[in-house]
Chains A and B, each alone.
Chain A
Amino acid sequence: MADPVVVVDGVSKRFRLYHERNRSLKAAILRAGRVRYDEFWALRDVSLEIEEGITYGLVGENGSGKSTLLKCIAKILRPDDGRIATRGKMAALLELGSGFHPELSGRENVFLNGSILGLSKRDLTARFDDIVGFAGLERFIDQPVKNYSSGMYVRLGFSVAINIDPDVLLVDEVLAVGDAVFQRRCNEKFADFRRAGKTVVIVSHATDALRTMCDRVAWLKDGQVVAEGRSEDVVDDYVDQGHEDRVEVTPEVAESRWGSGEVRLQHVTLVDSAGRETSHPSTGDAVTIRLRYRADKPVAKPVFGLALETLDGTWLWAHHTRDAGFVPDEIVGEGVVDLHVPNLMLQPGTYDLSASVVDYTTTHQYDYLRRCLRFDVEHGTPRESGGFVALGGRWVSDSFVA
């Protein structure tokens, strides 16, 4: 059980960045072998072992070398130094349907793609119905694949690859293909796969998925392994570290701004309990959202408002001073309004804040800053499994003790 199926031993991979990318014989002859290039180490002395039967994740920022490592394991790239030993049949899902010929039918392509991935015709014939059924393409299987929608294309590619039943499956960012139904089927298939004691190596940016799916995770940074261990620990460290201090938050960084300008918001900040500005509070922290405004002439009954969105634009929360019954009769000059939040009940992730000053009817905007403050929430207490909000609930049961 504890036998490693993939052993990566001191692997380095170097890419050449040519100054003049001139692919011509003339240029090659003129240079006479003196090629000018910079070297870029995509991987540097990476060593890790992947045990049989586990799901192994590779995380890291773009350009950290994780996909290069996966390609080296898949034998697509050859390392310049070091050694990679693998055991058993291996299949790589690097890009789905990459071997499809557009003019050939789905049926012909299943056989072609399957044989590229190393399946014999007999195996393919036996699994053909499964493959087509899984992709849900029974009706279209004799159509040329160029007539497929991109979703159908990818589904068929995934279906072929997952059905070849390898011992080691290498997956690169393909978990997000197809519609919701297909996604669920993919996840079920991955689960079956893991239950069957197969090894999966996944490269992904979807840290939540990695955390729940993987047993172990290696975190790569600049081509080196920074941390390796239980997935929860490594992924959490990775997520927390990724939140470097955000740049100075001022209204100028707002995505868009409009309003008549009688009142202007000058500064929107997030302040922690110690009174320091922060851009990465933790779940459960006491924080204050502080608005600085300026009104050159007296403005009657202004209403201040705040709203939170996720990066994909889901509207999470909004609150304004009229609903809170906190409206002054008049403001003039500079001033500050704070919103005290006793416990920040947001799960780890990145959020955008929008701020506004409107008139009492809330139909006329004095100033509106859309997405003017971006902050990252880090792991804190309570620590819950996923989503955007933390409810702070507690599991209890009369039926068992845990």
Chain B
Amino acid sequence: MSSVAELAESRELFVNLTLRELRGKYKRSVLGWTWSLLNPLANMVIFSVVFRYFLKVATTAGDPSGLKVFALWLLCGLLPWNFLSNGMSGSMGTLIANSNLIKKVFFPREILVASNIASWVVSFLLELGVLALVLVVAGSFVLPWLLPVIGLVVVQTLFVVGIGLVLSVLNVYFRDVQHFIGILLQIWFYATPIVYPISYVRDALKHRHVLFTLYKLNPMVRFVEAYRDCLYDRRFPPLLDTVFLVGVSVATLAVGVYVFTKLEPKLAEEL
């Protein structure tokens, strides 16, 4: 049976496992689901204070929206980043956390990664929804732009699933992947224009176009820019960027599926 057919057959399992992730995440906490919003909120406050008020990062004005609020601008980049970072950390641990299941029951193992990331997609969408509301309250009628944002979420999900598939299975073989990823995520965070506008980098690398092109090869640069285009500026991201993102995401997913299917048969004995 091909894995695609198996996956289709396991749709219900996928839904159930996703629900398990979602339900289990905030069980036994008083605030429950509020945490999923409080975390980005705390991030937002900290980064706003440090970067806006201490380090004096300039607030970019939305073009054409005219919006000029640092915290909102920050969130438009921070939320997609959190999705990536949560998805990577979550999928990395999911095979190990479910090792008893893998060793005792047969089912397509990629479902574990997919359902873990799906649970992060749900939180991400929730956060985006709240952000959209706040944007509307702040006077920026962003609702029609949520459509392209959904498209971006879909593309980014492919990207995250691709990375998650590789990391989940690699971490079973080499447990130091998770430590390595901890460092990588820090570097990656600052290599992405989340707490600073991309114009700073463009200016700094004004005479070094090659370096700037290299910088922009980081897919998260264009993801964050695209989310900001839609949500903060209310304009479409450049077509070329979109094509780049779709291409990179599909390629990442393909690599992920390849690596995973290559290493998956031995999972039950390696765990």
Asked if B177 is at the interface (CB within 8 A of a chain A CB), the reply is yes
Instruction: Using A25-B177, A28-B174, A76-B104 as known contacts, say yes or no to A103 and B24 having CB atoms under 8 A apart.
Output: yes
Chain A interface residue bracket vs B: 20 to 34
Asked if B103 is at the interface (CB within 8 A of a chain A CB), the reply is yes
A99 contacts B268, CB within 8 Å? no
Main secondary structure of the interface of B (DSSP, over half): helix
Chain B interface residue bracket vs A: 20 to 34
A15 contacts B106, CB within 8 Å? no
Contacts of B175 in A (CB 8 A): 23-24
* Cα of A95 to Cα of B12 in the assembled complex, Å: 22
B13 contacts A108, CB within 8 Å? no
Contacts of A24 in B (CB 8 A): 174-176
* Cα of A117 to Cα of B105 in the assembled complex, Å: 7
Residue of B nearest to A103 (CB): B27
Asked if B20 is at the interface (CB within 8 A of a chain A CB), the reply is yes
* Cα of A93 to Cα of B249 in the assembled complex, Å: 39
* Cα of A98 to Cα of B106 in the assembled complex, Å: 12
Instruction: Using A23-B173, A103-B27, A120-B12 as known contacts, say yes or no to A76 and B105 having CB atoms under 8 A apart.
Output: yes
* Cα of A314 to Cα of B28 in the assembled complex, Å: 47
Asked if B23 is at the interface (CB within 8 A of a chain A CB), the reply is yes
* Cα of A99 to Cα of B19 in the assembled complex, Å: 14
A94 contacts B173, CB within 8 Å? no
Q: Which of B105, B175, B177 has the most CB of A within 10 A?
A: B105
B103 contacts A116, CB within 8 Å? no
Asked if A115 is at the interface (CB within 8 A of a chain B CB), the reply is yes
A124 vs chain B, min Cβ distance (A): 9
Within 8 A of A (CB), among B141-191: 173-177, 180
Instruction: Using A25-B176, A76-B268 as known contacts, say yes or no to A92 and B20 having CB atoms under 8 A apart.
Output: no
* Cα of A198 to Cα of B184 in the assembled complex, Å: 53
Asked if B100 is at the interface (CB within 8 A of a chain A CB), the reply is yes
A162 vs chain B, min Cβ distance (A): 15
Asked if B265 is at the interface (CB within 8 A of a chain A CB), the reply is yes
B11-42 toward A: CB 8 Å interface, digit per residue (1/0)?
01101110110011001100000000000000
Contacts of A205 in B (CB 8 A): none
Contacts of A115 in B (CB 8 A): 12-13, 15-17
Asked if A243 is at the interface (CB within 8 A of a chain B CB), the reply is no
B105 contacts A116, CB within 8 Å? yes
* Cα of A118 to Cα of B9 in the assembled complex, Å: 9
A112 contacts B24, CB within 8 Å? no
* Cα of A76 to Cα of B107 in the assembled complex, Å: 8
B104 contacts A92, CB within 8 Å? yes
What 12 new A-B contacts, CB under 8 Å, besides A24-B175, A103-B28, A112-B17? A23-B175, A23-B176, A24-B176, A25-B177, A71-B268, A76-B102, A76-B103, A76-B106, A101-B23, A112-B20, A115-B12, A115-B15
Can you sample 12 A-B contacts with CB below 8 Å? A24-B175, A25-B176, A25-B177, A28-B174, A76-B104, A76-B268, A92-B104, A101-B23, A101-B24, A108-B20, A112-B19, A116-B17
